[in-house]
């Protein structure tokens, strides 16, 4: 049998554990005699279509071992939506020309909802044209908003970083004997999964955050101010977690409808939602208000990654290889929680078409009546996902990360 090569690509935002999925793919492919080279798209499909290809087969063992602990994505990514091939065949022709040239039999595309749309479309085209190639999706997103799967690799590590940092901020916010409010912003443009994870920061010794506001609920500034005001009757330091995508009752982002700030050049500034909410507290309740944004740290903090998350990221990569070798195509891996106590997951396979472009909101059953927090049921859902520590390889007690293939 003639040996073929495989191709790994990614699209969408990075996570702390995407490289672990690559490692899962690479390790499993290497056990397979029929696959020779492991190519990667440099900067996702967009880079690949420009001919940007990396040969990961050459990467040495030490570097490969570092993948499990390296955040971001060493091969790069893109935000690129491939058109329907009935509308525009150009990308497809280019893609399969390159695939043929590189003798690629298997494609692994790591990503979220949009990436699964790409998997679906490329697979459909290949089937229609009778191109013998297997294309499989590998899930990742810190947003945790893919449907079908119980949760997404990348989410657990972001959740752990958020919970850990909120614990630390909550303690920091209580050192002075003054009323103060900390507004802490997480990512989550459409869904509240990340903000909700901050509930884990609460324990018997200190309940914090006091409130969590989610994009799934209509956000009312007056209710928010009232919540904080009431809580301030009981305690001096208030910690609030807000999801960046908070919307008002008309479905408008709070940032868009309430920011009139202008910068130096008279541009309208669209700050974060936490920053936007600062004056509503400062002018009504207390002068000491701070907005804190976790920014890209929440998706890049490999030093605070979840062991469970990292292992699952590896696992979905491994299973993706088994899937293509079994002749499957057009599917994506997903996680099924078969048991919560003890926590146990199985990798299942779902048609990429089914999850493509869909968004899984935080279900109502997890949100409290007052719409300013999440309940115990959600805690039970998220807690297993942040378990396990990871051994970080160090040089001088700073993380030893793998070299980025995107940097010359």
Interface of this chain with its own copies, residues 131 to 160, rule: CB under 8 A: 160
Residues 6 or more apart from 130 whose CB is under 8 A from it?
none
Q: Which residue has the tokens 């007056």?
A: 222
User: Under the criterion CB under 8 A, does residue 72 sit at the interface with its own copies?
Assistant: yes
Interface of this chain with its own copies, residues 310 to 339, rule: CB under 8 A: none
- Cα–Cα dist 298/173, whole Å: 20
- Cα–Cα dist 266/328, whole Å: 55
User: Under the criterion CB under 8 A, does residue 94 sit at the interface with its own copies?
Assistant: no
User: Under the criterion CB under 8 A, does residue 270 sit at the interface with its own copies?
Assistant: no
**Contact, 21 vs 333, CB < 8 A?**
no
Whichever of 97 and 168 has its CB closer to its own copies, that residue is 168
43, 108, 120, 213: which one contacts its own copies (CB under 8 A)?
Answer: 43
Per-residue mark of binding to its own copies, 365-384 (x: CB under 8 A) = ------------------x-
Sign of CA dihedral 295, 299, 302, 303: positive
Please list the active-site residues.
143
348-352-356 Cα angle (round to 5)? 125
Whichever of 324 and 345 has its CB closer to its own copies, that residue is 345
Closest distance to its own copies from the beta carbon of 299 (Å)? 7
Interface of this chain with its own copies, residues 74 to 93, rule: CB under 8 A: 76-79
Whichever of 97 and 295 has its CB closer to its own copies, that residue is 295
Do the strands 211-213 and 331-340 form a parallel or antiparallel pair, or are they unpaired? unpaired
175, 251, 364, 369: which one contacts its own copies (CB under 8 A)?
Answer: 175
User: Under the criterion CB under 8 A, does residue 276 sit at the interface with its own copies?
Assistant: yes
Strand partners, 40: 8, 54
Q: Which residue has the tokens 């993706």?
A: 320
Whichever of 106 and 211 has its CB closer to its own copies, that residue is 211
**Which residue intervals of 211-306 are DSSP H helices?**
221-231, 254-258, 273-282, 297-300
Closest distance to its own copies from the beta carbon of 348 (Å)? 26
């Amino acid at each position: 049998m003639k040996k073929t090569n495989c191709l790994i690509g990614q699209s969408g935002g990075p996570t702390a554990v995407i490289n672990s999925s690559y490692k899962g793919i690479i390790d499993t492919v290497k056990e397979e005699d029929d696959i020779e080279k492991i190519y990667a798209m440099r900067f996702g499909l967009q880079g690949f279509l420009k001919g940007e290809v990396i040969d990961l087969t050459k990467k040495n063992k030490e570097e490969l071992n570092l993948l499990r602990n390296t955040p971001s994505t060493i091969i790069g990514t893109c935000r690129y939506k491939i058109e329907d091939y009935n509308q525009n065949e150009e990308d497809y022709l280019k893609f399969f020309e390159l695939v043929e040239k590189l003798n690629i039999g298997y494609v692994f595309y790591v990503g979220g909802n949009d990436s699964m749309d790409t998997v679906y479309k490329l697979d459909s085209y290949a089937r229609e044209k009778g191109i013998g190639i297997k294309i499989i999706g590998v899930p990742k997103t810190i947003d945790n908003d893919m449907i079908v799967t119980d949760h997404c690799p990348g989410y657990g590590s972001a959740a752990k970083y958020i919970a850990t940092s909120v614990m630390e901020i909550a303690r920091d916010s209580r050192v002075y004997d003054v009323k103060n409010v900390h507004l802490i912003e997480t990512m989550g443009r459409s869904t509240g999964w990340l903000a909700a994870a901050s509930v884990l920061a609460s324990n018997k010794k200190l309940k914090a955050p006091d409130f969590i506001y989610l994009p799934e609920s209509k956000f009312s500034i007056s209710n928010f101010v009232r919540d904080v005001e009431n809580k301030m009757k009981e305690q001096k330091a208030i910690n609030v977690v807000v999801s960046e995508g908070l919307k008002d009752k008309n479905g408008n982002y709070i940032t868009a409808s309430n920011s009139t700030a202008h910068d130096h050049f008279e541009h309208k500034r669209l700050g974060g939602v936490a920053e936007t909410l600062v004056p509503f507290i400062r002018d009504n309740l207390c002068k000491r208000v701070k907005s804190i944004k976790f920014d890209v740290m929440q998706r890049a903090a490999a030093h605070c990654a979840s062991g469970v998350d990292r292992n699952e990221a590896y696992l979905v990569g491994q299973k993706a290889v088994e899937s293509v070798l079994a002749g499957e195509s057009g599917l994506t891996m997903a996680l099924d929680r078969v048991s919560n106590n003890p926590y146990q997951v199985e990798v299942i396979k779902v048609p990429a078409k089914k999850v493509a472009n869909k968004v899984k909101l935080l279900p109502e059953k997890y949100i409290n009546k007052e719409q300013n927090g999440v309940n115990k049921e959600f805690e039970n859902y998220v807690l297993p996902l942040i378990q396990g520590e990871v051994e970080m390889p160090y040089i001088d007690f700073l993380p030893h990360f793998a070299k980025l293939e995107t940097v010359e």
